[in-house]
Structure formats: structure tokens, C-alpha cells
């Protein structure tokens, strides 16, 4: 077997740089989509069930992208064609979406008895999240294809760093554009220019970053791939098994890491859902969603989420220094659990910075270490992309389950949104215990 080439840090950075732009798009979607649809006149309570769509689309799209790209060997590469197509679609949707209030389609939709904002929200979420998923998955696959076992923690930690840097920009763009004088208000039914320009600039950065990786990275041809992974040429002609057969043949690591993922992603779903209500109650002393204090708490959510992104970026630099991946995983989750638990007790908005810096450590680990463990277990498999796509279900399914059962859980803790952070902390502790089940 040929000696595996070690990549320089610059090559690893180039391989992951496009993820920075993709994550800006994802952060803009998660932070502003409800604001856009509320501006269009949609009822947030009616739209809330749409938020099950992002993880659902991820469960559908990413396994397919993995399966198709496993069989794609062309002049443009193996994974890169999907990266480019996803980015182009995302850019188009990001340009159209914030201009929805300026489109003269509402009367036509209402004539048909349909709510324009409701249906526009449905289709825009489907197209935007689908395209982001198409563009996001190839980065994980290319690391699995092209990076040695010894360098995968560094590669995925670099990806985690760039991911959180992109999130930081996406969260702060509207605040920045407001600060430089772009209008943050608009006529009724029209999205403010600060949000519109955030999406425009985010789309421009997305396509530039993706094109940078597209032209800088040269994927292996089938022969190089076989030599790098130590497999025979005959093994490079897979029998094209279905997803059910792949799951039956999946290595034990797939399932044990997936169990850890279940607890981790359920915990973060509760954070995204209940942060506004929790800090409004603890810090501003209100549960009235119509009050000015509640809206002030909502503005502060963007700030502390940005702090979480900074914590994740810093911890991503620490992760490669651990000698054992499992040790890094356990320590990161326990630090995050401490951050979640502290939110229940904090009554000062600035002390929350410390809580969310700690939560950032768990987030950095969740973005990097599961893929390190899984791709090492899949070394030499011709179905790397298919398995990584299926593995995305361990991210999406817990969010769907947590969203569906959140009402029962919050009832069990007396309707307290701050108490949901204790539940999230308990989930991360359970996840850290399950790390012990992972064997290399």
C-alpha cells in the first residue's frame, strides 16, 4: 500500500474554507427567517411547525448526496459538483427570499384562498435548507476521502472553527448594517434593508468561499483513491447496496457515536427553542411575549449566540491537542453541560457570556469529533459518502424527536423554560457517559 500523504495546514484550510460561507447562509436562515415571515404578516404560531422542515430535509437530502457522490467520478471531481450546485441554488434563494415583501404575488395567492406568507415560508425553507444541505455535506466527505487518520481531528476541528466563524458573521450582519446606517425598519409587509443586505452579502461570500475551495482543491481519481485507502481496484466497483443493507453492515462506531449524537442534538434543540423565554424570565423578569423587555431579551439572544460561536472557535483550536479523541469528546460535553446548567441560575445578562462560552465547547466537539471517529472506522470503505449521509440522520432525528416531545417535557418541569436548560445539561451528561461505548 502506498504511503499516505500528509496534507499541509494550508491544504486542510483550503479543503474546508468553503464551509465558512455555507455557515454564514445557515446562520442567516436560523436567525432571521422568523423575522422575515413575521414581517410578511404570517402568524408565528402557524409557522412554527415549519421548523421541523430543516432536519427533515437533512434526513432526506444528505443520504442521497452521499450515495450519488460515491458513484460520481468526473473531471470536476467526486464531491465538488454537488458542492457547486448546492451553493448556486442557495445564492439564488438568498437573493429572492428577503425581497418577498416586494413581490406582487400576494393578491394572486389570496384569490386562490391561500396565505401568501405561509406558502412562501414553506417553499423558501424547503429550497434554502435543501441547497444548504447539498453544499454542506461534500466538505465532510472530502475530509473523509483525502485526509489521513492522524490528521482528521485537525481537519474537522478546522472545519468546526470556520463553521463557527461563519455563524458569528451571520448572526451579527444585521446589527452591523444597522450600525453603519442602513435602515432597520421598513413599510408594513416589507423586509428592512439591513436584513436584505445581510442576505445579499452573505450570498456573495458564500459563492466566493465555495469557488475558492472548488478551484483550490483537486480530488483524487479512482486509482489514487484506491491506493490511498489501501483497497483493490475490484473493490472500487461497489455492488450499489441500498440504505437498509448499508445500515445492517454499518460498523459499530456508527451506532455508538449516533447514540451520543442523539443526546447532544436534543440538548441543543432545546437551547434554540427556549433561550429567549428562559433569559426573559430570569434576567428581564417577564414572560409576556408582547412586552418591550421580552423583545430586549430576544435581541440579546443574538449576542449570546455569537458568544457561543466565539467559544466554539476557541475550543476548536484546543481539540487537536488532546491525545485521545474520546477524551476530548467527554471533556467537551461535560463543559457544555456545566454551561447549560448555569443558565438556570444566572440573572445577569453579562454573566450569560460565561455560560455560552462553555456551551461553545460542546458545540465545537459536536461539529468535529463524531466525523473523526466515524471516518476512521470507515477507512477503505467505497461507501464513505453514503454512510456520512446516513449519519446525518443522527443529527436530524433527535431534533425532530425533541421538537415533537418538547411540550411534554416542559410540562414535566412545571412549564419553566429556564428548567429546560437543566434538561439539556442532563442530556449532555448522558451523552458523555455514552462516549465510553465508542471503540476504535
pLDDT of residue 164: 86
Cα(25)–Cα(29) distance, rounded to whole angstroms?
A: 6
pLDDT of residue 110: 47
Residues 396 and 371: beta-carbon distance below 8 Å:
no
Instruction: Report the chain's terminal Cα–Cα distance, integer Å.
Output: 22
pLDDT of residue 41: 64
Between 100 and 205, the higher pLDDT residue? 205
Q: What percent of the chain has a predicted confidence (pLDDT) above 90?
A: 40
pLDDT, mean of residues 374-381: 83
- Bridge partners (DSSP) of residue 74 are 77
Q: pLDDT of 262-276, one tens digit each? A: 999 999 989 988 888
pLDDT, mean of residues 394-419: 89
Between 125 and 3, the higher pLDDT residue? 125
Please determine, for residue 375, whether its predicted confidence score (pLDDT) is greater than 60. yes
Task: Note the pTM of the prediction, 2 decimals.
Answer: 0.77
pLDDT of residue 90: 92
Which is it for the CA torsion 369, 372, 376, 382, positive or negative? positive
Q: pLDDT of 133-192, one tens digit each? A: 888 889 988 998 899 888 988 998 899 899 889 988 888 888 888 889 988 777 776 778
pLDDT, mean of residues 5-26: 91
pLDDT of residue 45: 41
In the chain, what are the domains? 1-237 (1.20.1250.20), 239-440 (1.20.1250.20)
- Give the angle subtended at the CA of 251 by the CAs of 247 and 252, to the nearest 5°: 105
CB proximity list for 361: less than 8 A, separation 6 or greater: 311, 312, 315, 332, 335, 336, 339
Please determine, for residue 42, whether its predicted confidence score (pLDDT) is greater than 60. no
pLDDT of residue 6: 86
Of 150, 171, 136, the residue nearest 367 (C-alpha) = 136
pLDDT, mean of residues 82-86: 93
Cα(326)–Cα(369) distance, rounded to whole angstroms?
A: 8
pLDDT of residue 29: 81
pLDDT band, very low/low/confident/very high, at 59 (cuts 50, 70, 90): confident
Q: pLDDT of 101-121, one tens digit each? A: 665 554 544 444 445 655 666
Which range, 105-119, 347-361, 371-385, is most confident?
347-361
Amino acid at each position: 500500500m502506498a504511503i499516505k500523504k500528509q496534507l499541509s495546514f494550508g491544504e486542510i484550510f483550503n479543503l474546508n474554507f468553503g464551509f465558512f460561507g455555507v455557515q454564514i447562509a445557515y446562520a442567516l436562515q436560523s436567525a432571521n427567517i422568523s423575522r422575515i415571515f413575521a414581517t410578511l404578516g404570517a402568524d408565528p404560531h402557524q409557522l412554527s411547525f415549519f421548523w421541523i422542515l430543516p432536519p427533515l430535509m437533512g434526513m432526506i437530502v444528505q443520504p442521497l448526496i452521499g450515495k450519488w457522490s460515491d458513484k460520481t467520478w468526473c473531471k470536476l471531481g467526486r464531491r465538488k459538483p454537488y458542492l457547486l450546485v448546492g451553493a448556486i441554488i442557495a445564492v439564488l434563494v438568498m437573493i429572492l427570499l428577503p425581497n418577498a415583501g416586494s413581490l406582487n404575488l400576494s393578491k394572486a395567492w389570496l384569490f386562490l384562498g391561500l396565505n401568501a406568507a405561509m406558502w412562501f415560508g414553506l417553499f423558501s425553507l424547503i429550497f434554502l435548507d435543501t441547497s444548504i444541505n447539498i453544499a454542506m455535506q461534500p466538505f465532510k466527505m472530502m475530509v473523509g476521502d483525502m485526509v489521513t487518520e492522524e490528521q482528521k481531528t485537525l481537519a474537522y476541528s478546522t472545519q468546526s472553527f470556520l463553521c463557527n466563524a461563519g455563524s458569528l458573521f451571520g448572526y451579527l450582519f444585521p446589527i452591523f448594517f444597522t450600525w453603519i446606517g442602513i435602515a432597520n425598519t421598513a413599510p408594513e409587509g416589507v423586509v428592512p434593508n439591513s436584513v436584505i443586505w445581510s442576505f445579499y452579502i452573505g450570498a456573495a461570500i458564500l459563492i466566493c468561499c465555495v469557488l475558492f475551495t472548488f478551484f483550490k482543491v483537486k480530488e483524487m481519481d479512482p486509482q489514487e483513491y484506491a491506493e490511498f485507502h489501501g483497497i483493490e481496484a475490484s473493490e472500487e466497483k461497489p455492488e450499489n447496496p441500498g440504505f437498509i443493507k448499508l445500515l445492517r453492515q454499518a460498523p459499530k462506531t456508527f451506532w455508538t457515536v449516533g447514540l451520543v449524537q442523539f443526546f447532544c442534538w436534543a440538548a441543543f434543540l432545546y437551547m434554540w427553542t427556549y433561550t429567549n423565554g428562559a433569559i426573559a424570565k430570569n434576567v428581564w423578569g417577564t414572560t409576556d411575549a408582547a412586552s418591550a423587555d421580552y423583545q430586549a431579551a430576544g435581541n440579546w439572544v443574538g449576542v449570546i449566540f455569537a458568544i457561543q460561536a466565539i467559544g466554539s472557535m476557541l475550543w476548536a483550536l484546543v481539540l487537536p491537542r488532546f491525545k485521545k479523541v474520546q477524551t476530548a469528546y467527554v471533556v467537551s460535553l461535560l463543559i457544555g453541560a456545566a454551561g447549560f446548567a448555569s443558565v438556570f441560575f444566572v440573572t445577569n445578562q453579562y454573566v450569560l457570556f460565561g455560560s455560552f462560552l462553555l456551551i461553545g465547547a460542546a458545540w465545537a466537539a459536536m461539529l468535529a469529533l463524531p466525523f473523526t471517529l466515524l471516518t476512521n472506522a470507515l477507512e477503505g470503505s467505497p461507501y464513505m459518502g453514503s454512510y456520512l449521509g446516513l449519519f446525518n440522520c443522527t443529527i436530524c432525528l433527535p431534533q425532530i424527536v425533541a421538537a415533537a416531545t418538547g411540550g411534554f417535557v416542559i410540562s414535566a418541569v412545571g412549564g419553566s423554560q429556564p428548567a429546560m436548560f437543566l434538561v439539556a445539561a442532563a442530556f449532555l451528561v448522558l451523552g458523555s457517559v455514552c462516549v465510553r461505548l465508542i471503540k476504535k
